[in-house]
Structure 1
Amino acid sequence: MPVFFYWGNDDFAIAQAVSAIHKQVLDPAWESFNYDKISPEQPDGLVQGLNQVMTPPFGSGSRLVWFVDTILGQRCPEEVLLELERTLSGLPVTSVLLLTARSKPDSRLKSTKLLQKYAEIREFSLVPAWKTDLIVKQVRQVAQELGVKLTPAAVERVAEAVGNDTRQLYNELEKLRVFAGRTKQPLDEAAIAPLITTTTQNALKLASAIRQGQVALALELVAELLRHNEPALAIVKTLVGQFRLWLWVKLMLEAGERDEAAIVEAAELANPKRLYFLKQEVQFLSSTSLLRTLPLLLELEASLKRGADELATLQTKTIELCEVCQGRG
C-alpha cells in the first residue's frame, strides 16, 4: 500500500518508521529528484505535494512525498479534498505518500474516511507513564526486536530506568546489545546496573520518598535528578503516573474490593504479583490524601510550563506533597 498515515506523540518511534520507509523507497543516487518533504507552512503545499506524488520518479527507485504535521486529519478545504480523492484513487505504484501528525485523525471528516480507505494508518503514542506494566511489555518487545536477552528482573530494571521514553529505551538496549556481544545467556539485573541511566528509577524513588513523607530524602532526590539533566516535566510525569496508580488501588481497596484479579485488571497490571507491593505501599495512606496530591501535581506541571524556576518550584511542591502524605497538608 503506497499511502501511510502515522500519528501520535511518540516522535522518536514515528521518526524511525519514517526512516524505514525512506530507506525502502528511495534510491540514494536519485533522492534529491524523487523526495519532497512538505511542511504545513508551505503556501499551497498540500496541492503541490499531491501533484508531485503523481509525477513518475526519475532514474531508479520510487518517489516519496512526505506531509509533515499534516492537517488533513483535522480539517481539509473542499478544493484540497477533491485533489486528495483524485490522487489517492489513482496513485502510481512507483509513488509513496506519507503523512504524519501528532493528533488522531477525526473520523467524521471526509478526508479521514478517504485515508481510511486507501492508507495504512498506524498510531505511535507514548505509553502513559503510570502504566508501568505496559512499559515493561514495551521493553520486552524492543529487546526481542534488537536481539537483547534479559532476565525478567533486568527487564523490570530497564523499564524503571527509561520509563516511557522510547528514544532512551532504544539507546539503552543498543548499549546492552553491544555489551552482551555473542553471549547467549540473558543479562541479569546485576550485569546491566552499571550500564543503564537510572533517572526514571530515581523519579520513582522520589515518589516513594514523598509517599512516606521523607522531606529531606525527597529534596535530595530532586536535586540529584536535576543535576543529571532530567527534564523537570519528565519528573512530574513519573510522579503523576505513580500517584494515580496508588490512588486507583487504594480506592478499590476502600470500596471493599477483595477480588485481586479485579483490581489487577482495573489497574492494568500486567504482572499480578506487583499488586502485593502496591497494597503495602498504600496501606498507611488514605484515598483523601492521595486525591489531594493530584491538584498539587497539576499546579506543579502548570508552573513549570509557564517557565518557573525548576529547582525552586520542584522543592516547594515536593515539601507540600510530603506534608499531604503525612496528613498535615
Structure 2
Amino acid sequence: MAFYIYWGDDDFALVQGVQTLRDQTLDPHWASFNFDRIDSDQTDGLRQALTQAMTPPFGQGQRLIWLVDPPLFQQCSEDLLQELERTLPQIPETTVLLMSSGKKPNGRLKSTKLLNKQAEVREFALVPPWKTDQIADRVRQAAKEVGVTLNRAAGEFLVESVGNNTRQLYSELEKLKLFAGDRPEPLDLARVSSLVTTSTQNSLQLASALRSGDVTRALGLLADLINRNEPPLRIVATLVGQFRTWLWIKVMLEAGERDDKAIAAAADVGNPKRIYFLQQEIRNLSQRQLLGCLPLLLDLEAGLKRGQDPLEALQIKVIQICEICRH
C-alpha cells in the first residue's frame, strides 16, 4: 500500500497534487471504477475509507481512496485508533490511500503519530505575501511546469501581480502560454502586462504607504483592499510580517552587522540580495519608529479577533502608524 497525507492552506496546489497522484495511480480506462472521494461530512467516513481501501481494483491499474479532512487529524477516539492500527497493515499493495487536511494535523495525537510513521507527508502551504523571494521562486517553478519563458522584468511583474495566489498564477501562465504559441523568445514586460490581470493595490503596497507616512494613499489602498473583499486579518498578517522584517534589519544594522547573509538569516529573508533593497526602504526610519508600529499592528489583530469593526479599526491604526512614520 502507498499512503499519503497532504495538508496545507493552499487549496489549489493541494488539489493539483491530488490530480497528479490520481494520474500516476489510475488506469484512465478504469478510473471511474477505482477512485473514491470520501468527504468529512459523510457518516463514518474513516471506516468507509478503510473498507474501500481493502477492496481490490477493477480491471487495470490501482485503486485510489481520497479521504478529505478527516476529524482524526484533530481528535481521535480509542476505537478509531485501534481500527487504524488493525487495518492499515492489511491494506493491499494495489491500493493508494490519501488523506488531506486544510489544517496541520495535531502532532500530539496518537493517531497522528501512527499515521506519520506509515505515510508520506506533503505540505501545501501558501507563501506569506511579504516573502516575495519565495513567491518569485514559485513563479519561476510554475512557469517552467507550464512551459512559459519570461524575461526578468516580466517575471517580477507577475510576482507583483499575483502575489501568493497560486490559482491565479497558473491561470495567468496558461493564458500567457496560449499567447506565446511557438515563439522561442521570452515574453517581455510589455506583453505580459497587457495580458495579466493585476490588482492595482495589495497589502505590501499598503505597508509601503504606511512606511512613507502617506495617510491619503494608505487610506485609499485600504479602501480598495476592503472593496475587493481582502480578509482584514490577512491584511494585518502581511503588515505584521513586513514591519517585523524591517525591524529586524534595522536592529541588525544599528548593532553594526554588515554581512547581508547574517542579516537575511536573522530577518528570515530567503535571498540575501534583497537586503540591500530592504535597507533602502527603511533608511529614513529609526528603530524606535518601527518598534512603535508593531504593537499597534498586534493590537489591531487582537481587536479584529475580538469582533471590532474591521474598516474602522484598520483606518484608525493606519492613521496612527502613518503619524509615527512621518515624524
The answer to whether the superposition gives a TM-score over 0.5 is yes
Output the CA distance in 2 between the equivalents of 1:227 and 1:113.
Answer: 43
Output the CA distance in 2 between the equivalents of 1:172 and 1:291.
Answer: 39
Corresponding letter in the other structure for 1:79 = D
- Asked if structure 2 preserves the Cα contact closer than 8 Å seen for 1:8 and 1:123, the reply is yes
C-alpha deviation, 1:37, in angstroms: 2.6
Corresponding letter in the other structure for 2:84 = L
DSSP-derived class of the 2:157 partner: helix
The answer to whether the aligner puts 1:325 opposite 2:325 as a matched pair is yes
Output the CA distance in 2 between the equivalents of 1:163 and 1:16.
Answer: 19
Partner of 1:162: 162
- Structure 2 vs 1, CA of residues 177 and 234 (structure 1 numbering), >3 Å: closer, same or farther? farther
Output the CA distance in 2 between the equivalents of 1:77 and 1:254.
Answer: 54
- Structure 2 vs 1, CA of residues 148 and 234 (structure 1 numbering), >3 Å: closer, same or farther? farther
Output the CA distance in 1 between the equivalents of 2:10 and 2:278.
Answer: 28
Corresponding letter in the other structure for 2:98 = L
- Unpaired segments ≥5 residues, structure 1: none
Output the CA distance in 2 between the equivalents of 1:90 and 1:312.
Answer: 58
- Asked if structure 2 preserves the Cα contact closer than 8 Å seen for 1:163 and 1:200, the reply is no
Identity of aligned residues (%): 59
Q: Show CA shifts across 1:44-98 (max 9, x none).
A: 3212221221012344543322211123344433332232233322222332211
Output the CA distance in 2 between the equivalents of 1:271 and 1:62.
Answer: 42
Partner of 1:204: 204
- Structure 2 vs 1, CA of residues 140 and 112 (structure 1 numbering), >3 Å: closer, same or farther? same
Corresponding letter in the other structure for 1:69 = D
Output the CA distance in 1 between the equivalents of 2:202 and 2:78.
Answer: 52
Partner of 1:126: 126
DSSP-derived class of the 1:98 partner: strand
Output the CA distance in 2 between the equivalents of 1:268 and 1:192.
Answer: 30
C-alpha deviation, 1:280, in angstroms: 1.7
Q: Show CA shifts across 1:186-214 (max 9, x none).
A: 22233322322333864322211111111
Output the CA distance in 1 between the equivalents of 2:109 and 2:139.
Answer: 36
DSSP-derived class of the 1:72 partner: helix
DSSP-derived class of the 1:65 partner: strand
* Equivalence map 1:303-322=2 (5 Å): 303-304=303-304, 310-322=310-322
C-alpha deviation, 1:142, in angstroms: 1.0
Partner of 2:139: 139
C-alpha deviation, 1:99, in angstroms: 0.2
DSSP-derived class of the 1:99 partner: strand
Partner of 2:264: 264
DSSP-derived class of the 1:175 partner: helix
Partner of 1:95: 95
C-alpha deviation, 1:266, in angstroms: 2.5
The answer to whether the aligner puts 1:279 opposite 2:279 as a matched pair is yes
Larger mean CA deviation between 247-256 and 263-272 belongs to 263-272
The answer to whether the aligner puts 1:81 opposite 2:81 as a matched pair is yes
Partner of 1:295: 295
The CA RMSD measured in Å over matched residues stands at 2.7
TM-score of the aligned structures, taking structure 1 as reference length:
0.87
- Unpaired segments ≥5 residues, structure 2: none
Output the CA distance in 2 between the equivalents of 1:107 and 1:235.
Answer: 29
C-alpha deviation, 1:7, in angstroms: 1.2
- Asked if structure 1 preserves the Cα contact closer than 8 Å seen for 2:130 and 2:204, the reply is no
C-alpha deviation, 1:26, in angstroms: 4.2
DSSP-derived class of the 2:70 partner: coil
Partner of 1:242: 242
C-alpha deviation, 1:151, in angstroms: 1.8
Larger mean CA deviation between 271-280 and 31-40 belongs to 31-40
TM-score of the aligned structures, taking structure 2 as reference length:
0.87
Output the CA distance in 2 between the equivalents of 1:59 and 1:194.
Answer: 49
Count of equivalent residues: 327
- Structure 2 vs 1, CA of residues 112 and 304 (structure 1 numbering), >3 Å: closer, same or farther? closer
Larger mean CA deviation between 61-70 and 311-320 belongs to 311-320
The answer to whether the aligner puts 1:50 opposite 2:50 as a matched pair is yes
Output the CA distance in 2 between the equivalents of 1:122 and 1:45.
Answer: 22
- Asked if structure 1 preserves the Cα contact closer than 8 Å seen for 2:213 and 2:322, the reply is yes
Output the CA distance in 1 between the equivalents of 2:296 and 2:181.
Answer: 46
Partner of 2:36: 36
- Structure 2 vs 1, CA of residues 270 and 191 (structure 1 numbering), >3 Å: closer, same or farther? farther
DSSP-derived class of the 1:57 partner: coil
C-alpha deviation, 1:230, in angstroms: 4.3
Q: Show CA shifts across 1:268-313 (max 9, x none).
A: 4344332222112112212232233233333444555566555444
DSSP-derived class of the 2:71 partner: coil
Corresponding letter in the other structure for 1:45 = G
DSSP-derived class of the 2:37 partner: strand
- Asked if structure 2 preserves the Cα contact closer than 8 Å seen for 1:215 and 1:318, the reply is yes
- Structure 2 vs 1, CA of residues 61 and 107 (structure 1 numbering), >3 Å: closer, same or farther? same
Q: Show CA shifts across 1:192-245 (max 9, x none).
A: 223223338643222111111111122222233344554444433432332222
Output the CA distance in 2 between the equivalents of 1:226 and 1:195.
Answer: 25
C-alpha deviation, 1:14, in angstroms: 0.8
DSSP-derived class of the 1:67 partner: strand
Output the CA distance in 2 between the equivalents of 1:269 and 1:68.
Answer: 34
- Asked if structure 1 preserves the Cα contact closer than 8 Å seen for 2:250 and 2:286, the reply is yes
C-alpha deviation, 1:106, in angstroms: 4.4
- Structure 2 vs 1, CA of residues 197 and 268 (structure 1 numbering), >3 Å: closer, same or farther? farther
